[in-house]
Amino acid sequence: SVPRDLYVYIPGVDTMSRINFADYWGEAYGYEGGGPGLVRDTLMYNLGIRVDHYVRTNFDGLIGIVDTLGGVDIPVHCGISDHWPYPDENGEYPILTMQPGIRHMDGETALWYARSRLTTSVFSRERRQQQVLQALWHKGRDAGMLTQVPALWKQGQDMVQTDLPLAEMLELAQIALTIDDQNVRFYNIGLGMLNPWTTPYGGAVFLPNWENIQPVL
């Protein structure tokens, strides 16, 4: 996971900015490959991370993916509280609190869990996002849904955008069926690898501490 407020050089736009602006600028300026193309080149230029393909979705897409799989089971390690993103009958946004334990989440709850940071840090949120992705893989693998890639792809084209051809998805699905958890590693560019900084325009960003980031890369 790469913090969205990581302050880096954006190639093509020739400026320093938050890394999460790369997708927007790639689309706005007609960069080759659009938003994903500029995100790819920004990651390579600054972090040396090669991106071969991309898959992206939006909030509604994540809800649809989780619900298509029948929900996901996620181990919640610490209690969190945050506003539910949908108003009640009074037009108010209630506070949802989730206690530690294995929680079965539908799409809306998984999105809330992945986005929440009212009572936790942005770095904890990134770890929760990794949990959601891992839970999706577990559910698809254990329910045998990875063998239904062609049908799922037709169903999911309104949920995701990707440059992966179907043939390569099928090959990757076969690999995903054989991978165990101990074969997967998760990495984060975390707090000890960054220096908080305020830009001349008042933006709160993170400057990379290259000496500490390098071992993770």
Residues 141-200: tens digit of each pLDDT: 888 877 777 777 877 888 999 999 989 988 988 888 888 889 899 999 998 999 999 999
- Asked if 127 and 134 touch (Cβ cutoff 8 Å), the reply is no
Residues 21-43: tens digit of each pLDDT: 999 999 999 999 999 999 999 99
Question: Stretch 193-213: mean pLDDT, rounded?
Answer: 95
As a whole number of angstroms, the distance between CA 215 and CA 114 comes to 26
Residues 41-91: tens digit of each pLDDT: 999 999 999 999 999 999 999 999 999 889 999 999 999 999 998 888 888
1-5, 86-90, 104-108, 201-205 — which is least confidently predicted? 86-90
Kindly report the pTM of this predicted structure. 0.89
Confidence (pLDDT) at 154: 79
DSSP, res 146: G
As a whole number of angstroms, the distance between CA 68 and CA 162 comes to 18
Question: Stretch 202-208: mean pLDDT, rounded?
Answer: 96
Which spans in the chain are helix H?
Answer: 22-28, 34-47, 59-68, 107-115, 122-142, 149-156, 166-178, 210-213
The residues, ordered by sequence, that sit 6+ positions from 166 with a Cβ below 8 Å of its Cβ are 149, 150, 153
